[in-house]
Amino acid sequence: MKRPPEIGDYVLATEDSKGDARYGWCVGHLAKVNIGKRSKGYAVEADGKSLLYYRAEKISSERGKFILDNSDFICRSVRSLWWWKRCNIQKTQADINYIKNGSTKE
């Protein structure tokens, strides 16, 4: 079982549990965990703002950079953000470059 993120962890956070990129999401550092009677919320700091999200999972800085660098492509994708969290970065980046430029080189 994976551990929940802890304060200070670098996370991918979404407004919905399914990780639909058309809704609110961010990559940043977990600032606070709010636990209520019926739900849990995650306050994540990104771009100097702290916003509340429904789901947050720890990611590496390399994964965060990959997601942020390709955010325009990800927002148009049918894949959930949770798929992007788990995909092979090198292979997926080559596929994105091919779709964008017709080349696997950056």
- What does the H/E/C string look like for the chain? CCCCCCCCCEEEEECCCCCCCCCCEEEEEEEEEEECCCCEEEEEEECCEEEEECEEEECCHHHHHHHHHCHHHHHHCCCCHHHHHHCCHHHHHHHHHHHHHCCCCC
- Residue 2: its pLDDT value, please? 72
Look up the domain containing 78 and give its range.
10-101
What pLDDT was estimated at residue 39? 64
Instruction: Give me the pLDDT at residue 1, please.
Output: 61
Q: Could you list the pLDDT tens digit for every one of the 106 residues in the chain? A: 677 888 999 999 999 889 999 888 999 999 888 877 666 788 888 877 778 889 999 999 999 999 999 999 999 999 999 999 999 999 999 999 888 887 555 5
In a domain, 71, yes or no: yes
pTM of the model: 0.84
In a domain, 53, yes or no: yes
Q: Is residue 4 part of a domain?
A: no
pLDDT, position 70: 94
Q: Say if 5 falls within a structural domain.
A: no
Residue 8, pLDDT score: 92
Is residue 22 situated within a structural domain?
yes
Q: Is residue 74 part of a domain?
A: yes
In a domain, 32, yes or no: yes
The count of domains in the chain is 1
pLDDT given at position 35: 78
3 within some domain: no
